[in-house]
A and B are shown apart, each in its own frame.
Chain A
Amino acid sequence: MKPKVAFFDFASCEGCQLQKLNCEEELPLVLDAVEIVNFREASSARSDDYEIAFVEGSITTPHCVERIKKIRAQAKFLVAFGACASTGGLNMLKNFQPLDEVRAYVYGDGAKYFDTLPVRPVHEVVPVDYKIHGCPGDKGDILECVRSLLLGKIPKEKRYPVCVECKRKDNICRYDEGEVCLGPITRAGCGANCPSNAFHCFGCRGLVDDPVTDSARDVLAKHGLTPDEILKKFRLFYGYSEVAR
């Protein structure tokens, strides 16, 4: 029997949903190996009988909280897919401003119609079995996760920083180019995509395990950033972590 897979989305840009469809070459093979029973963005067929749930997006409303609890109750294996789900992503930027003011800024007098909670990554609401990091979630990570699950294995998160992958690619260090980069403290797995395109890492995969943030702060300060600018950099994609407070 093929494993039954469902996809769900919460507050997000849906770029991670698109990343799945962007596996153009592998998609037919994946469809042979698993049965997709719930994927609102791509299909009108819907079923609540599934074993594996891929969840995209952050939890931002009371209604989201109820929905994710139901999904957790059904799924044997729940994957938080992409930065919004795995760390809260840059949706977390909202949490650093007073919520009432945020609502009024966007909706004016209509603010009262649109309830909002502080943004949370999925694991702060229900237990999560695996996280696919990144904004967007990496295609390779998606396929590796599916492959591992089909083999009955739990996939493993990368436990080293982006710098390792960047060095392996022989990229010129962004610091040597006079820029600042969050590669030293950001979790790897993207193949150092941004530095490989001559753009600094801005931390979309979240902090690596045991990051040396104090040294990172010193390096950023040495390159001319004020404490406020460093905090801003950390808030962009590390908003879930205490380094952003």
Chain B
Amino acid sequence: MTARPVDLKVDVEYVTRVEGHGHIHVETRAGELTRCEWNVVESPRFFEAFLRGRPWQEAALITSRICGICSPGHQLTSLKATEAAFGIKPSEQTILLRKLICDAATLQSHILHVYFLVSPDLLGVPSVIPLTKTHPDVVARALKLKKLANDITDMIGGRAVHPVTMIPGGFTRVPAPDDLKKARDRLEAAIDDLVATAKLVRDLAGKIPGFERDTEYIALRARGEYALYDGDIHSSDDGAHPVAEYRRVTNERVKPYSSAKHAAFHRSSYMVGALARLNINFDLLDGLGAMAAQVLGYRAPVRNPYWNNIAQVIEAAFVTERMIRWIDRLLAMGPKPEPKPKVKPRAGRGVGATEVPRGILFHDYTYDGDGRIADANCIIPTNQNCASIEDDMRALVPKLIEEGRSRDEITFALEVLVRAYDPCISCSVH
């Protein structure tokens, strides 16, 4: 055991392999934690301010640009908020197509994160680039799965980043049956790749730090279905809350050192994302997802935030199989072209919530009588996780000091912790 560092100072400028710009600052004096900050320094773009005055047709198009990684999720949330404000009920086919694109976007994001951003830590390399030489089969599998997910998003949305076909009330065009069938075949063929992914991560799981902290988990929960596209807000502390009352849950606040706002409900922080979703909805996980959970030894509730990455692998397996079911239902229905939605704008407010890859996302618009946005509020998963990251660091640092870890080891553990949350920083600042 090395000497216990009484005065520790960790400053990580621009954490790498995360989306956006953030620093870690931790200081201890005489064994006491005197500073513990997840310091988001991303430049705000002020989306809520410039949404004001824009017409309803543009809400999803503009808010999609909050985040390139979860652009389909932003669009879905935006469409649901606008539809809630105007009282629009989309068709069953529209909802199925949305669930399909939502699952595809989840698969894309989780594969990208686990293989490209997290696996280098587990394999002791700086990035995926050297792995193209040392583990070519693993990289090929990752690229193949990512491409499959992107191709499905493209098939439905017309583009993988910032899709174009999703509009309030429906779709500008729907995919052809042949394309759906081809996607189905590729999903079937991908099941082995998901099993291989689960086994690969299981074999590396010993490198994931052992650290637990009890906290509040928040995710959508729906009747009879593992909720991504829709549901009610659910807290592990006190159960269900209607989406329209999200502000009671999020309680956003500004920290001077973070351009991403913080959130808290019953405790000083809560956690959202794959781990929170699994902890809340574990009973609704079935098929390949349940099998992956078994392979990986996941038994809810899991209180180790590093296991968010394990939860992502489980969800990736689950949605891959679920997409086959959505496609079967779509094929059984037609698919038919969607009629041009008849939208009658009216003054009012609408809130939408979706589980995007990093957790629960809220869009809240108030429209004037002409269908122009008068007020807008978007609360991003990574906002909601900022305080949770800090609370984890606050619990983790004394533990690591106690274990006699070196400054470098503590620094690395903190970077890996931030990465485990898969923060979408530019999105959280928007």
**Structural contact, B129 and A13, CB atoms closer than 8 A:** no
B: interface residue count bin: 35 or more
Flag B86-97 by CB within 8 Å of A: 1 or 0 each.
Answer: 000000000000
**Structural contact, B172 and A197, CB atoms closer than 8 A:** yes
Query: Which residues of chain B from 4 to 56 have any CB-CB distance to chain A below 8 Å in the complex?
Result: 14, 16-20, 41-46, 48-50, 52-55
- Chain A CB within 8 A of B82 CB: no
Count A-B contacts at CB 8 Å: 176
- Chain A CB within 8 A of B69 CB: yes
Closest to B163 in A: A197
> Which chain A residues lie closer than 8 Å to B150 at the CB level?
22, 24
- Chain A CB within 8 A of B160 CB: yes
Flag A195-219 by CB within 8 Å of B: 1 or 0 each.
Answer: 0111100100000000000000000
**Structural contact, A11 and B45, CB atoms closer than 8 A:** yes
**Structural contact, A15 and B45, CB atoms closer than 8 A:** no
**Structural contact, A15 and B162, CB atoms closer than 8 A:** yes
> Which chain B residues lie closer than 8 Å to A22 at the CB level?
146, 150, 160-161
- Chain B CB within 8 A of A147 CB: no
> Which chain B residues lie closer than 8 Å to A12 at the CB level?
68, 426
- Chain B CB within 8 A of A74 CB: no
Shortest CB-to-CB span from B414 to chain A, Å, is 14
- Chain B CB within 8 A of A102 CB: yes
Flag B117-146 by CB within 8 Å of A: 1 or 0 each.
Answer: 100100000111100100000010001101
Closest to B145 in A: A24
Most B CB atoms within 10 A — which of A36, A44, A46, A96? A44
**Structural contact, A202 and B43, CB atoms closer than 8 A:** no
Task: For the complex, count residues of A whose C-beta is within 8 A of B.
Answer: 62
- Chain A CB within 8 A of B67 CB: yes
**Structural contact, B49 and A197, CB atoms closer than 8 A:** no
- Chain B CB within 8 A of A194 CB: yes
Binds B, one of A108-116, A121-129, A151-159: A108-116
> Which chain B residues lie closer than 8 Å to A103 at the CB level?
46
Supposing A36-B129, A236-B58 touch, asked if A109 and B254 sit within 8 A by C-beta, the answer is yes
Supposing A15-B71, A21-B112, A90-B65 touch, asked if A45 and B43 sit within 8 A by C-beta, the answer is no
Shortest CB-to-CB span from B358 to chain A, Å, is 13
**Structural contact, B165 and A199, CB atoms closer than 8 A:** yes
Closest to B425 in A: A14
Known: A14-B427, A44-B16, A106-B49. 17 other contacts (CB 8 A): A9-B426, A10-B43, A11-B44, A18-B68, A28-B139, A39-B127, A40-B17, A43-B120, A46-B16, A89-B65, A110-B254, A113-B257, A116-B44, A135-B162, A136-B159, A194-B164, A198-B172
Chain B residues with a Cβ under 8 A of chain A: 14, 16-20, 41-46, 48-50, 52-55, 58, 61-62, 65-69, 71, 112, 116-117, 120, 126-129, 132, 139, 143-144, 146-147, 150, 158-162, 164-165, 167, 172-173, 254-257, 259, 261, 426-427
| 17 A-B residue pairs with CB within 8 Å | A41-B16, A43-B120, A46-B16, A94-B49, A102-B49, A102-B50, A105-B49, A106-B44, A110-B254, A114-B259, A135-B162, A193-B158, A196-B158, A197-B172, A199-B164, A202-B61, A236-B62
Chain A residues with a Cβ under 8 A of chain B: 9-19, 21-22, 24-25, 27-28, 31, 36, 39-46, 60-61, 63-64, 89-91, 93-94, 96-97, 101-103, 105-110, 113-114, 116, 135-136, 193-194, 196-199, 202, 229, 232, 236
Among all A-B residue pairs, the 8 with the closest Cβ atoms: A15-B68, A110-B254, A43-B127, A197-B158, A93-B50, A198-B172, A45-B126, A24-B147
